[in-house]
Amino acid sequence: MPYNCRLMDKSVRYMLIAGLSFAIMNIFVKQVSHLPTMEVVFFRAVFSFFATWLILRKLRIPVLGNHKKLLFYRGAAGCLGLIGSYYTLQHIPLASAVTLNYLSPLFTAVMGIFLVRQKLRPLQFLFFGLALAGVVLIRGFDPRVSLFDVAVGLGAAFFAGLAYNIIAMLKTAEHPLVIMFYFPMITLPVTGIYCLFHWEMPQGTDWLYLLFIGIMTQIAQYYMTRSYQTANLARVSILNYLGVVYALVAGYFLFDETYNMLSLLGIGVIIGAVLLNVFFAKGK
């Protein structure tokens, strides 16, 4: 098997593991919708900080890495993206939230033109427009989704796309765990200050949900980072969209969520636009 094919197979496996882990995490985030978003992100960052630091220390890898400026930007983008992502997961139907957050592959591909010199065909910009039309359908025909929710979801997708591009810029120059470590290092003080003034004590099973959020996100972030370090951004980022299918199923069976036909059409348009984008990306 050619070397490039082996790399692609590995990157696909990594992204599939990441996608499933993110899907499980989404369910647990939805379960703690009564807690402030910043508090949930804080707990996630605490778990990530200690888990990543302990492993890096055991492996005797310098935690601050070599490309501190890029790593800082990646951590800041990841912080903003995760806050927006968790907010939408907590406040709107699961599948709609996941679909908005998973616009990140398109932002990833477009920003990749400028940041990592990846080429896009002109037709791929049409797919970006189609995806935004899908967002309009979801917002316009689902009264549970406000304009503010859409703005937060788009912002989360934008910052996630920026973070993924920075990961690609770093390539193999930094250990995946070093890249991951900058997220909690920046997120902890940001969310910690908020929690000092808006703390709500988790109750009962909340602690278990928060623990699983940390575990599943740690697994997902690690394998997502490995995938983006070993493959073309536009090709592997589409695999995130399996999460929309997971969210539709979980929303229906676990949270009694239903969707009208136009909302489902909006979700379908977004997924179709990104699938077409990846199809054309592969043809280059």
Tokens, residue 94: 């699961």
Task: Measure the CA–CA gap between 110 and 104, rounded to whole angstroms.
Answer: 10
Cβ pair 145, 85 in contact under 8 A: no
Task: Measure the CA–CA gap between 52 and 28, rounded to whole angstroms.
Answer: 21
Below-70 pLDDT ranges, the chain: 1-9, 120, 228-242, 278, 281-284
Amino acid 5: pLDDT? 47
Cβ pair 46, 214 in contact under 8 A: yes
Sign of CA dihedral 254, 256, 261, 265: negative
Amino acid 1: pLDDT? 47
Q: Which residue, among 196, 185, 170, has the nearest Cα to 64 in the 3D structure? A: 185
